[in-house]
């Protein structure tokens, strides 16, 4: 069974999917969570179970700074999760309603994503000042993505992550005419990887700018691909004129299913007109990754033993080592020691 890493920020939804006054039900790492946006624009995340009689709070509505349960109208403050009103009480009742709480998850809106922090323990109060920073995409400040799409992957987070970082499936899975055409042509790739905090990266290098889309960014274009726990992949193309980025976040829904958030950012002017086309291409490309894991599930349902080979699957091996070390560091109550060493990886694709 897949282990799900806690004490991390996870993408809960694209910010564009959460309108003012809206409540959205999510399941993240097996937990029912309601995400909402107040009319003042602030976002919040609460455990999606009313502590009174258990109905999910997302069936209710937002009133000012509270969520109101649809069953008996109990209200919960969106900042603290504390109960602020029980309509059925009379002045003669002496129930201390502020002691009734729903767990409130730390929640932030950054660069067009709503992030929710999933702690180790939802029984304990969270000290907001001790939270790790929300992962941000360098080079883009407060920019929101030009394209942001969500995909449901019928597999655990591990298969989703290693499928997305896998350099050898391209010629077999991504066969759209606009991506590559004609017979498969393999070349030996040789690339330097090195550790970064909580992960590893393809060390930035300058690409040959023969392909037209890269030329949009300038005459010199470098690429950097960063992978970081729990399941974040950031691919940045830096040209001498403009920058573009593909950001992928995998959020486990539960042990068996995952949600994949794919966003594209760019600073190139005028590309806004191409948004509908880029959206279609993103759906097609990620749809290919999603469809291949559906086929894979047919085999995985028999729990076969699997293989990871060098060097094409070395990144997948690193992912599991990073996960293992993270879980060990939590268990031993010590800081995380990145187990990855700089190394050149070679494969044909
Ligand atoms: S179940 Fe929510 S108020 Fe009663
Ligand atoms: Fe892929």
DSSP states of 76-118: EETTT-BEEE-TT--TT----GGG-B--EE-EEEETTEEEEEE
Vertex 291: Cα angle to 211 and 321 (nearest 5): 80
Q: At what angle do helices 157-165 and 275-300 cross, to 10 degrees?
A: 120
- The two tokens of residue 241 are 């004129």
Burial of 37 (0-12, 13-18, 19+ CB in 10 A): buried
Q: What pLDDT is recorded for position 208?
A: 77
Given the candidates 2.102.10.10, 2.30.30.30, 1.10.3720.10, 1.20.58.100, the CATH classification of the domain at 8-123 is 2.102.10.10
Q: How far is CA 114 from CA 14, 75, 144, 167, 200, in A?
A: 6, 23, 11, 29, 24
Distance of alpha carbon 245 from alpha carbon 332, whole angstroms: 36
Pick the CATH number of 147-348 from 3.40.50.720, 1.10.760.10, 3.90.380.10, 3.40.50.11540: 3.90.380.10
Q: What is the pLDDT along the chain (349 residues), one digit of tens a residue?
A: 679 999 999 999 999 999 999 999 999 999 999 999 999 999 999 999 999 999 999 999 999 999 999 999 999 999 999 999 999 999 999 999 999 999 999 999 999 999 999 999 998 889 989 999 999 998 899 999 999 999 999 999 999 999 999 999 999 999 877 666 667 788 899 999 999 999 999 999 998 766 677 888 998 999 999 999 999 999 999 999 999 999 999 999 999 999 999 999 999 998 888 899 999 999 999 999 999 999 999 999 999 999 999 999 999 999 999 999 999 999 999 999 999 999 999 999 8
pLDDT at 272: 83
* Polymer length of the chain: 349
Residue 54 burial by Cβ neighbours in a 10 Å radius (0-12, 13-18, 19+): exposed
Q: Do domains 8-123 and 147-348 have the same CATH topology?
A: no
Whole-model pTM: value is 0.95
Ligand 1 neighbourhood includes 69 CB (under 6 angstroms): yes
Query: What is the domain partition of the chain in residue ranges?
Result: 8-123, 147-348
Cβ(102) – ligand 1 distance below 6 Å: no
Does residue 180 line the site of ligand 1, with CB under 6 A? Answer: no
Structure tokens at 316: 């997948």
**How crowded is residue 254: how many other Cβ atoms within 10 Å of its Cβ?**
15
| Nearest ligand for residue 288 CA | 2
Mutate to test the pocket of ligand 1, among 49, 50, 61 (most ligand atoms within 8 A of CB): 50
Which of 67, 74, 81 has most ligand 1 atoms within 8 Å of its beta carbon, as the pocket-test mutant? 74
Closest CA to 291 of 123, 175, 212, 168: 175
Q: Which atom of ligand 1 lies nearest, measured to the CA of 72?
A: 3
């Amino acid at each position: 069974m897949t282990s799900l890493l806690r004490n991390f920020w996870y993408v809960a939804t694209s910010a564009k999917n959460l309108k003012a006054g809206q409540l959205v039900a999510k399941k993240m790492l097996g937990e029912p969570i309601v995400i909402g946006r107040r009319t003042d624009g602030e976002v919040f995340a609460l455990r999606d179970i009313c502590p009174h009689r258990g109905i999910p709070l997302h069936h209710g509505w937002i009133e000012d700074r509270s969520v109101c349960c649809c069953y008996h109208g109990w209200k919960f403050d969106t900042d603290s999760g504390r109960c602020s009103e029980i309509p059925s009480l009379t002045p003669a009742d002496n129930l201390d309603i502020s002691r009734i709480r729903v767990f409130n998850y730390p929640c932030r809106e950054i660069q067009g994503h709503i992030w929710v922090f999933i702690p180790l323990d939802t029984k304990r109060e969270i000290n907001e000042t001790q939270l790790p920073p929300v992962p941000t995409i360098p080079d883009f400040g407060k920019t929101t993505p030009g394209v942001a799409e969500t995909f449901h992957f019928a597999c655990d987070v591990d298969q989703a992550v290693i499928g997305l970082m896998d350099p050898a499936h391209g010629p077999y899975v991504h066969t759209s005419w606009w991506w590559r055409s004609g017979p498969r042509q393999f070349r030996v790739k040789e690339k330097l990887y090195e550790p970064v905090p909580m992960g590893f990266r393809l060390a930035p290098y300058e690409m040959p700018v023969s392909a037209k889309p890269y030329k949009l960014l300038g005459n010199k274009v470098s690429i950097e691909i960063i992978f970081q726990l729990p399941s974040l992949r950031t691919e940045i193309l830096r040209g001498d004129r403009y920058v573009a980025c593909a950001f992928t976040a995998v959020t486990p829904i539960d042990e068996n299913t995952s949600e994949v958030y794919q966003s594209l950012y760019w600073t190139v002017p005028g590309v806004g007109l191409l948004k509908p086309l880029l959206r279609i291409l993103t759906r097609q490309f990620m749809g290919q990754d999603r469809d291949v894991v559906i086929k894979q599930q047919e085999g995985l349902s028999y729990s076969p033993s699997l293989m990871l080979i060098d060097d094409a699957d070395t990144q997948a091996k690193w992912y599991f080592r990073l996960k293992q070390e993270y879980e060990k560091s939590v268990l031993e109550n010590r800081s995380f020691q990145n187990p990855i060493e700089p190394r050149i990886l070679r494969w044909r694709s």
